[in-house]
Amino acid sequence: MTAELLTSEMVPVKGALITVAFRRSARARRVSLRVDPAQGVVITLPIRASRRAGLALLRAHEEWVSERLEALPQALVLKPGAIVPVHGLPHEIVHVPTGRGGAWVEDGKIFVTGEPEFLARRVADCLKRLARQRLAAMAALTAQRAALRPKTVRIKDTRSRWGSCAPDGTLAFCWRLICAPAFVQDYVVAHEVAHLKHMNHGKLFWQLTDELTPHRPAATAWLASDGVSLLRIG
């Protein structure tokens, strides 16, 4: 076991009720807390630590937690009229209840058919499909330039990383990456492809990454400043 999600509960912080998720981790050496863009406040407990210890840490850092929560961008709910970025460009969700075809992207809009209760899921499925098609193709072309070949490319619903490379050569990307500008997608793909040859962040890894993409400085800066907003989508 590495980390196990226990339960979430509502806890008053600075006069407001917030959701606090408790996780128990075999790797944790001490009680810790963080503010996650998707989950809110997450408290990690070592195996023998109590919830009381986690709440005590939260109380000691109420001011910091409150400030971090207020700084988070608002969640982007997938509903009619919402503006969702695709390749970094704004797209409006348009509901076509009598239409057919599921959901598709066209002329700066995301058209969605069917019943309104299924709209959010259909938009997310549409974006995941686009991500799978585009990022898999980008990974194949980038790997070919480096005489490498990924085992497979997967799209995941992750909120802690944009991409990953498994020891067996499987590349995985967060589907929300399809919402980022093209130069950011290019960098993240090149970063993970470089891991096919160098499973570390040493000098040779960065050298190969920079050979595969010219966008590292701009992309890392964009992810640092705007990446959190993508994690609030859906």
Q: What is the DSSP string of 148-160?
A: ---SEEEEE--SS
Q: What is the DSSP string of 103-120?
A: EEEETTEEEEES-GGGHH
pLDDT 10s digits, 132-172: 999 999 999 999 999 999 999 999 998 768 999 999 999 99
**Tokens (6 digits) for 193:** 């492809």
**pTM (2 d.p.):** 0.76
Whole-number Å distance between alpha carbons of 77 and 109: 16
Go through the domains of the chain in sequence order and give each one's CATH number.
Answer: 3-71 (no CATH), 83-123 (no CATH), 130-230 (3.30.2010.10)
pLDDT 10s digits, 88-136: 999 999 999 988 888 999 999 999 999 999 999 999 999 999 999 999 9
SS3 228: helix
Q: How far from 52 is each of 10, 25, 33, 41, CA to CA, in Å?
A: 14, 16, 13, 15
CA dihedral (205, 209, 215, 221) positive or negative:
negative
